[in-house]
Amino acid sequence: MRIAAVQTLMGLSPGVTVPAAEAAMETAMQAADRPDFLILPEYFSYYGLDQKHSVELAQPLHETPAFRMAKAFAKRHKVGLQAGTILAKVPGEERVENISVVFDRQGEEIAVYRKIHLFDMGDLGSGAFRESNYIKPGEAIVTWEFEGLTFGTAICFDVRFPELFRALRLKGAEVITLPAAYTMVTGEAHWELLARARAAETQCHFIACGLGGTVVVDGQEKGCYGHSVIVDAWGKVVARAGQGAEIISAKLDMENLHSVRNNMPVMKQRRLTGDAVTGF
C-alpha cells in the first residue's frame, strides 16, 4: 500500500484553503506511483487565529466545505482519504470539536476521531495557546480497517502522550496517522523526535502530516512547522518534507514491520500492564 501525506499551507478562509487542498490532492493522484491512501494536515480547511474566529467559521461537520470536498474526492478518485482535521459545531455547545474523518474508496465514512489532548501552553516563544477554551475534547480511541491493514490515528498535541499510542497498538494498529499543525518553536524542538519515538515504541508505520506556511495578521507573522514525515516501524524516516506545500509518499513495507515485531516482541515482554499503568 502506498500512502501520501499532502502537506498544505496555513490559510484563514475555507474559500481559499479547501480548493487548494483539493488541487494538491489532484496532483498527488497524478503521480506515477499513485497512492492508495491520502492524508491532509490538521486545520487544512482554515487556521483559526483565535477562539472567536474559529467558532464563527465552524459549521456542523457534514455541512462544512472541507467535509463535502473530501468525501467527493475519495469517491471520484476511488482512494482512501483522511481529511486532516475539521473544526465542527457541537449541538448545544459554545465550543467546537476538532475532528478527523476517514473515507474509503467509495467516499463512505469509515472512522471519525475527535482530538483528545488539547494544546494548552504558556508562551514558549510563539505566543500562548489554550485550545480548551473553545474546543471540546474527544474521548474515544479510534482504529479502522482499510484493505487488510489496521490503522489508528491521533492529532497533533496527542503525540506527547505515549499511552494513547500504546492503546492504539493494543487495538491492533499497524499504521498510525497524525494530522498536525505544529508551531515553529515546538516543531523545531520535538516534531521529528516524537514521530520517530512513537513509531519505534509501537512498531507501527507512522505518517505525520503537518500544516506548513505562514499567515500575517495585524502585521505579525505566524507560522506552522510543516516538515511532514513518514517513519517506518523501526523508527527510520523514509520520507520528509520542508515547510512549504509539498507531497511525500512511501510504500509501506509490511514485511519489515513483521520482522521488527517478531524479532523484538515488546508487546509480549511488557511487565507493567492492567492496573499497574492506568490506560495501558
Catalytic residues: 42, 115, 156
Up-side HSE of residue 20: CA atoms within 13 Å toward CB?
A: 21
C-alpha cell recorded at residue 4: 501520501
Q: 519505534: which residue's cell?
A: 200
Q: Judge contact between 86 and 45, C-beta under 8 A.
A: yes
Tell me how far apart the alpha carbons of residues 8 and 21 are, in angstroms, rounded to a whole number: 6
C-alpha cell recorded at residue 148: 487488510
Terminal-residue alpha carbon distance, the chain: 29
